[in-house]
A and B are shown apart, each in its own frame.
Chain A
Amino acid sequence: MAAGPMKMRATIAGGNIDVRVLMTHPMTTAQSGQPLHFIQNVVVKQNGKTVIEAEISQAVSRNPVFTFRLKGGAKGDKIEVSWVDNKGDSNKIESAVA
């Protein structure tokens, strides 16, 4: 399975912004007998400003789903989430806070 599209929903919840993002990715481990293929870096931006930088390993489940929380945001804020994997593939998604 190759890396595929992303889905994201950013909503106001309890005065914060909840960002729920899904990445289509095999996240294969060395133990699986398949080539090691996993997302290494994830960056979350709010209105163009980096708010979260993550480094992850092959221990994150296939088709990773993350929930992040941002404070002090508003409806319409632009949230962008991007990733890069160990093969240099990347993807990103942007949507406005609903």
Chain B
Amino acid sequence: MSEVLLETRGLHVRFSVRHGDIARAVDGVDLVVNQGEVLALVGESGCGKTTLARTIMGLERPAEGEIRFEGEPLQYDSRFLRSYRGKVQMVFQDPMGSLNPRQTVYEAVAEGLRIQKPPGDEATRVADALARAGLRPPERFLQLYPYELSGGQRQRVVIAGAMVLNPSLLVADEPVSSLDASVRGEILKLMLELVRDAGVTILVVTHDLGLAWNIADRIAVMYLGRIVEEGPAEELLSHPRHPYTRALLSVVPEAEEMEQQILQGEAPDPTRIPTGCRFHPRCPLVASGEASRLGIEERCRTDDLVLHEVAPEHRAACHAL
């Protein structure tokens, strides 16, 4: 059994939105990230996956629950947070936006070093990080500005800026979704190299199940602020148990064998989380009458539920299982 690197316990994050409504963006998440793995957090936009990632980074404070990193609870004083961020780093969706247009590649990569002040020569570490991120030779890139780079190169700079601190955990929020298709694979390849060579653990937030198939060891599927299914990637993608995961998988053009189950409506509203199983208003099992045949429809509508084991290391939250 691998060692736990990061763990969230009963994590709740709430935002007040207009008219005094409270959005429960993260609504009771227990998530474990093991040392050395690639964990994909999958879900539709608005399911709370980005908020969860930002909360793990300490950029958002939970209303309830805690985050433990290497067994120690995350504290929110500035000194603790700064040293924590030396160990946990983040890569964002839009590489153009995450680079200051007035900073050169060198400054962008060196920024973390200037903040964290680890020992060692800054220039060497920057060049080293760029080379490891696949920008070779680094000297060619040091003095360039973001607009002089291609999308893929920009994302490599952002990754170098994170890796220059030698973090143990890299949180990547949709790292390739804004990149050209032909370049995506290269960035994913780089991420796998970092796991293998630098021993980094990666939590990748994505809506793309194909990406999860490409690089993830484990997958956690999130729906409306809660993890509804999690398990080893191959097991989960070949035997999805939760009806939401099944629907999600069925509409991916890359998985054609399944009969399409297109859910109607859009990502639901986190200010109005349904009672019972939060998925029941859109659940194909409920809609088709399958749930009432199984005699669980009442429970779907009223009983909230947690993840339970459906196969070794594979857990799902559905009354039908």
Q: Are A and B physically bound partners?
A: no
Q: Hey, which bits of chain A sit against chain B, CB under 8 A?
A: none
Q: Hey, which bits of chain B sit against chain A, CB under 8 A?
A: none
